[in-house]
Amino acid sequence: MSKIIKVNLKKNSYNIYIGTDILKNIGDFHKKYFMNRSKIVIYDEILYNSIYFKKLIKSLGKNTNSIPIKSGEKSKSQKSLNKLYDNLFSNQVDRNSVIYAFGGGVIGDLAGFAAATYMRGIDYVQLPTTLLSQIDSSVGGKTAINSSFGKNLIGAFYQPKLVLIDINTLDSLPKKQMLSGYAEMIKYGLINNKKFFLWLEKNGKNILNKDKKDLEYAIYICCKSKANIVKQDEKEKGQRALLNLGHTFGHSFERIANFKRFSHGEAIALGIILAFKFSFELKLCKIEDFNRVYKHFIDVKLPREINHLFKMKIKAEDIIALMKLDKKTVDRAIKLILVRGIGNAFISNRVNDKKLSLFLKNNGFD
């Protein structure tokens, strides 16, 4: 089982491989793409005792050096980045070396940014191990760490040389993390692929139950969709922003909760529901569309109401203030991804604060 997608970005083009036999063949991939260049693995420490890590090192060669990174969002910090640079220097990583980023989006973003900046940039490969990173963060070359002023504020667009997705790494992924990735998966259907949303309505439970055949198909569709969007708009000057459906809302929930309590995907899920409902209230889409999305979220048990994320009351004005801090905000005007229906999202550049505030207050906010 395996599939290949080419991300067409002229001299920054690269391939994505999706399958179940990837890790044990990494040595062959390395030879094919990088010949005898030296390599180093930067990995999420949670994977150290896993069968995947053993397979990876066995295939790359027992003398392959590796650097562990602590699990969790906190590792996307200036402190861990500095420590990582030091580790790269002491491991004698040079401009000809290749970094393998082995873990979820946290490792991919951190190692990718280190690769972008270490000695003015060295080659790296994404080896994503969470559903979210396999369908989203490993593709497209956005790399970043967080600042105390907000998430992903220090970063670079820096494309990997290769993305290798071994679906078997999902075997150990906790249910909560599967669901978090699944919220992003639905997003691809909702922005521009209604047929895929209809497929997910039927097969979404198989994805959450880790059916390999369905996972391979769905990951393929998502990566293809992302590759397509990135090809047209590598640096997010336009259409790439559609991928942020649910995210301007979602990021503000994550900030309020200080990135604890619920996963990124759960925050995004509620954000998507709000984007659909707000679109309906602005008479942009039909109530049937909203109801259909809402029903699927019930079926797969994704959050749909603010009290699914927070026990305390959340102020509409606090949400709006946080939305204005979003990277996409220009001149303090909130930019939202709204919908004209399922599979038909668009960028709304100037959302009216008053309408948004009223909408939030009518939907469980204070």
Ligand X SMILES: NC(=O)c1ccc[n+]([C@@H]2O[C@H](COP(=O)([O-])OP(=O)(O)OC[C@H]3O[C@@H](n4cnc5c(N)ncnc54)[C@H](O)[C@@H]3O)[C@@H](O)[C@H]2O)c1
Chain positions contacting ligand X, by CB under 6 A:
44, 46, 71-73, 76, 103-107, 109, 129-130, 132-133, 136-137, 140, 142, 152, 169, 172-173, 177, 180, 264
226 tagged catalytic:
yes
Q: Name the catalytic one among 251, 255, 277, 304.
A: 251
Q: Name the catalytic one among 39, 55, 76, 142.
A: 142
CB nearer ligand X, residue 76 or residue 255:
76
CB nearer ligand X, residue 44 or residue 214:
44
340 tagged catalytic:
no
The rounded radius of gyration (Å) of the Cα atoms in the chain is 20
The tokens for 239 are 């259409």
In degrees rounded to 5, what are phi and psi of residue 29? -60, -45
Q: Name the catalytic one among 76, 224, 255, 264.
A: 264
244 tagged catalytic:
yes
Place of tokens 């000809």: 96
CB nearer ligand X, residue 28 or residue 171:
171
Question: Smallest distance from the beta carbon of 50 to ligand X, in angstroms?
Answer: 7
When CB distances to ligand X are compared, the closest residue is 105
For 99, half-sphere exposure in the C-beta direction (CA atoms, 13 angstrom radius) is 36
205 tagged catalytic:
no
Pairing between strand 150-157 and 142-147?
Answer: antiparallel
62 tagged catalytic:
no
Question: For residues 277-303, b (16+ Cβ closer than 10 Å) or e, as one string?
Answer: bbbbbeebbeeebbebbbebbeebebb
Question: Smallest distance from the beta carbon of 106 to ligand X, in angstroms?
Answer: 3
Question: Smallest distance from the beta carbon of 108 to ligand X, in angstroms?
Answer: 6
37 tagged catalytic:
no
How far apart are the C-alpha atoms of 347 and 350, rounded to whole Å?
A: 9
Q: Name the catalytic one among 39, 76, 187, 240.
A: 240
142 tagged catalytic:
yes
CB nearer ligand X, residue 130 or residue 279:
130
How far apart are the C-alpha atoms of 95 and 30, rounded to whole Å?
A: 16
How far apart are the C-alpha atoms of 164 and 52, rounded to whole Å?
A: 13
261 tagged catalytic:
no
How far apart are the C-alpha atoms of 321 and 248, rounded to whole Å?
A: 11
240 tagged catalytic:
yes
Q: Name the catalytic one among 55, 146, 184, 234.
A: 184
146 tagged catalytic:
no
Q: How far apart are the first and last CA of the chain?
A: 51
Q: Position 127: which residue type?
A: L
In degrees rounded to 5, what are phi and psi of residue 69? -125, 140
CB nearer ligand X, residue 139 or residue 316:
139
Are 164 and 139 contacting, i.e. CB atoms less than 8 angstroms apart?
no
Question: Smallest distance from the beta carbon of 148 to ligand X, in angstroms?
Answer: 15
CB nearer ligand X, residue 129 or residue 252:
129
Q: Name the catalytic one among 120, 237, 311, 354.
A: 120
Catalytically active residues, by annotation? 120, 142, 184, 226, 236, 240, 244, 247, 251, 264
